[in-house]
Amino acid sequence: MAPSTQTLPALVWEGGLSVAVRDVPAPEPTEGFALLDVAYTGLCGTDLHICAGEHSRAQPGIVIGHELVGTLAEDAGDLRAGQAVFANPMMHCGTCDACSRGLVHVCERLRSVGIDRPGAACARVLVPAGGLYPLPAGLALVEAALVEPLAVCVRALRRSGCAAGERVHVVGGGPIGCLLALLARDAVAAPGSGSGSGAVTLSEPSATRRALADGLGITTVDPERPAPTADVVFDATGVPTVAASLGRWARAQARVVVVGAYPPVPSPVDLLRVMFAELSLVGTRIYTREDITAAIELVASGRLDLGRLVSEIVPLDEGVRAIEALRAGSALKLLVAP
């Protein structure tokens, strides 16, 4: 059978700093993949790195978008067409040492929709059939669109060992940083003590983003001013130069959790501070099935009121403007509705 000549508009990184909405070949049924009609795709810091040519794997011409939620365009296993699903965009090799130990989320050859394969900033996308999660009936897809970044934060919080009564500091006031602060607030609250918001702080150089975080009820601080040190410090910036200053937020024997690290270049770390204060450096990468399931349950519970994080929902033809808004730091979370 000859391949289809049908095309669909998509948000494409064309190389350098150039992003455009242009037609791409429509995806066709492929073994091991499921066709998804995209409801929303979230844009994040990784997309900005891709669209700046800073991602080591993404190639010009790639359709971006790896935070995706939608409905199945065709039956997939036991799931019927029309079922609302979250799709894990990640693909593991199954043969490396990590995969052989069941640690597929840290696969040595991990690949992703929106980076290595066409992404979800398009009306229809192919997603790994083994990564489909049916969503509860009635769950608003606009909130389910935040499952992917929330799962990242669930994983990071678990890796941190954060416990009731501890102090937490988050470096970076983007969506991941704000989600971490909201999750940590519950984790450190002692029974009967209320929200525990005083035990969690967030530093962010942008006054605009500090104001956005303040609006979510997060206690923010200016990074240029002294702040109390914490038992757990999350680096949610994805800015390599921040690594050298993380120790200033950490008290003795604190855990410093690296959540974002792009572009992949060596970062300076104050190893003397790590040694003298007996700090623990903790890495965390994406999420496991358990983290995704927990994130879906959190979204469905309504406890976090995630809709507050969404600055704007834009149609696909305004995708370039959305990228520019993220670059300018004038928005928190932007969703594209293809």
So which residues are the catalytic ones? 46, 49
CB atoms near residue 116 (< 10 Å): 18
CA 181 distance to own-chain centroid: 14
Place of tokens 């704007």: 312
C-alpha distances (whole Å) from 206 to each of 134, 211, 262, 298 are 37, 9, 19, 28
Q: Angle, to 10 degrees, between the axis of helix 175-188 and the axis of helix 207-215? A: 40
